[in-house]
Structure 1
């Protein structure tokens, strides 16, 4: 989280000069922060979220509060909600999944009727815990009468992966209020997410799949794996044992295939096995670093290529 901290500090300073109004100015490209002109709402969202995460990572409750919209800042229990969010957050952030692209935005544009609402769900991995996060930001809102109270970060929800998986019943932590037709809150749901994996299984796009660890002692040998040439998953399990983890999507009905992940001994990479559910035939067997997005340096190594037809 220290990378790029200089830019974030400048952004924080500028936001503090005139409160939430600078969200409006920066988002419209009227300010340049450390040489960066914010003509792109997505980039503004990224820098705002990165700054927020740096405050959470550093345990800076005042920093978190400084980024909130005025409506949340003035909420009755906001200090308690921020304290619970920050104090319960475990470990130092190692990485996050992407929140740089495909930021969902919606708004109404026109003379004196402009608005923008930016949000994204992503994952946070620390050296002690794993979380899912949802953060929503409003750079400017001229559509609603109380739009000025919404400008800033207006929704923060952070959950450990056991809550994300639905294995723990969610209870309400944090008070939600409504501002300019938007639900605003600072909420946390903290349990234990260490029995799960966030697997980056996309190719050209950022695609993350939540997996449950089912056999933490399972480790397989790379040389044995690359020598494998059978598509029978039963035989594969006889050779390598039960999987290290499985996709949560395996519990769904009416799906064609299931996905399993095997940990490889003395390697940062994992074996990904996609199996046709009805036949038990392996569709794809590949190796990849599941903590990083696909790239030229992190391509899939295919042991068994994808079948052209469903058997």
Structure 2
């Protein structure tokens, strides 16, 4: 099996009936009104913005909105710099679609009911909601090209369900320009810093080596560039896994539990799949049996993986404390 993330399964619906049937405890999405069901194809749907913050209290209104415009939901942690790039990419792709999709950010720590409803076991977890029906997408981060494919699939599912409204933001937005086929023309996006753009472009074409070089150059220019540091850690993980298969990685680690390189591969695999605690526990359990050189390798790798997961993630805090105790 290839390490490349699979095409997301769009058929796995979650049960959000408790949210659908619960009265909203917050104001509706638009002042003085809620979205009307059954928007005509291409009809304008007033919304406060194309990027919204979802909560346990206001999600009923968002479910209502999904009857007119498909909604992408990300359960993440806004305080973690390592997750910011994934959120920024989702936002950028939503804005490119000029109202055909609305993006809802959910602070997972502050909204446990939504975390439970979406069965989110790791962050970020991304789902879609179409006509009130949640669709499981993926956990973690996936390359931009595959994310674009996911968005295209969501729009296809939405069209099949008659959800074809165009969100019209009240935050200074205007009716989207349409092309000759009647589809919204994506608005121009502010450019990324040159080296960040170079890294994004390299990742999209699968050239992780060039992406790593670009992020290293960005850090040389600005050692405090947290986005570049997190990007470098994430791309380095993808580079290490490139060309390897799940069966081979797990088989090698199982065959030789003392082989550090094999265990590091499994850790990368687990991190990429959102199994954060399993990954950290594997290295920390192995740590006491290693020689000084091996311990230095594990320490360096864990610091890098902390950037991948996010320094504010409680799982990172626990692993860091455990590592410190082992070191001293």
Q: Structure 1-normalised TM-score?
A: 0.29
- Give the TM-score, by structure 2 length: 0.28
Q: Which has the higher contact order (CA 8 A, sep 6+)?
A: 2
- Structure with more strand by fraction: 1
Give the number of the structure whose alpha-carbon radius of gyration is greater: 1
